[in-house]
């Protein structure tokens, strides 16, 4: 009887241990210019996760227009670039932070190869991306459509021009998402949109400037107080543009949703 009780206790303790086992996390990313790599390394440091870079066998040469032309041809033909074999086994992980630059409004072409050659079934996928103007939302939708057997969790994205803001934003994202410990004050909801005033239109114009991918004027706006300033949600010409106006800083747009 005593032996039975000892065995039962050991079984219960083992089961309890398994129930509270921390998920195993991998940061897996493709970076062409090093900007996405910066986010990946920040994630790895904060999470204590394993990390691996996705390597293209025939790398893109780094020239912007050459990359655009090559990736356009690959997307149109459906012939995607070959990748070097991964050193990690994706099946060993529970949560995968999948990083990439945004090309043509979605994940970069090498990620398409990865999705075609790697089984992500049953995994929790957290996208993170860098972009010129936007693309996190569209990338999340594309991943959800492509990886129907995986759970796509809300992700993080940042403009390459705002990479210096990434550490603080990423810290908040990870705390609010429950990936690391810490307090996270919820942001207030945006109120209803209203017609822009001249002052608000000037803020929009200053934030957008002569950015070549945004050819629009603000028509409506909503705003909310955030730490250190005001965040605006402008709409116009079928676009939604988020602008951050921090104290003693010029306003900048943080993302565009098309």
Q: Is the pLDDT of residue 213 over 80?
A: no
Place of tokens 């250190």: 228
Looking at the structure, tell me whether residues 48 and 167 fall in a common domain.
Answer: yes
Looking at the structure, tell me whether residues 111 and 234 fall in a common domain.
Answer: no
The stretch 34-54 carries a mean pLDDT of 98
- Residue 79 resides in a domain: yes
Looking at the structure, tell me whether residues 212 and 156 fall in a common domain.
Answer: no
Q: What's the pLDDT band for 19 if we cut at 50, 70, 90?
A: low
**Residues of the domain holding 246:** 194-257
Question: What's 146's domain CATH number?
Answer: 3.40.50.360
Total tally of structural domains belonging to the chain: 2
Looking at the structure, tell me whether residues 83 and 199 fall in a common domain.
Answer: no
Looking at the structure, tell me whether residues 95 and 220 fall in a common domain.
Answer: no
Task: Judge if pTM exceeds 0.85.
Answer: yes
Report pLDDT digits (tens) over 62-85.
788 899 999 999 999 999 999 999
> Which value, in Å, is the radius of gyration of the alpha carbons in the chain?
22
Looking at the structure, tell me whether residues 160 and 224 fall in a common domain.
Answer: no
- Residue 182 resides in a domain: no
Looking at the structure, tell me whether residues 130 and 211 fall in a common domain.
Answer: no
Looking at the structure, tell me whether residues 166 and 199 fall in a common domain.
Answer: no
Task: Write the DSSP string, 189-240.
Answer: PP---EEPPHHHHHHHHHHHTT-TT------EEEEEEETTEEEEEEEETTEE
């Amino acid at each position: 009887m005593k032996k039975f009780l000892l065995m039962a206790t050991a079984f219960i303790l083992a089961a309890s241990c398994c129930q509270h086992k921390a998920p195993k996390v991998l940061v897996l990313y493709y970076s062409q210019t090093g900007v996405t790599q910066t986010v990946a390394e920040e994630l790895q440091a904060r999470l204590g996760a394993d990390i691996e870079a996705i390597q293209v066998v025939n790398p893109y040469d780094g020239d912007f227009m050459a990359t655009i032309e090559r990736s356009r041809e690959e997307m149109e033909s459906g012939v995607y670039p070959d990748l070097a074999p991964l050193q990690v086994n994706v099946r060993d992980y529970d949560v995968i932070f999948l990083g990439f630059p945004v090309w043509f409004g979605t994940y970069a072409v090498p990620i398409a190869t990865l999705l075609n050659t790697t089984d992500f079934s049953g995994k929790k996928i957290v996208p993170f991306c860098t972009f010129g103007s936007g693309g996190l939302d569209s990338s999340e939708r594309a991943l959800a459509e492509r990886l129907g057997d995986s759970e796509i969790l809300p992700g993080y994205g940042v403009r390459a021009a705002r990479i210096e803001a990434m550490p603080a934003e990423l810290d908040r994202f990870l705390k609010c998402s429950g990936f690391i410990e810490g307090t996270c004050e919820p942001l207030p909801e945006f109120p209803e949109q209203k017609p822009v005033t001249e002052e608000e239109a000037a803020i929009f114009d200053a934030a957008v400037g002569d950015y070549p991918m945004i050819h629009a004027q603000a028509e409506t706006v909503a705003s909310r107080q955030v730490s250190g300033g005001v965040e605006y949600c402008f709409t116009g010409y079928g676009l939604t543009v988020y602008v951050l106006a921090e104290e003693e800083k010029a306003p900048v747009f943080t993302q565009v949703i098309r």
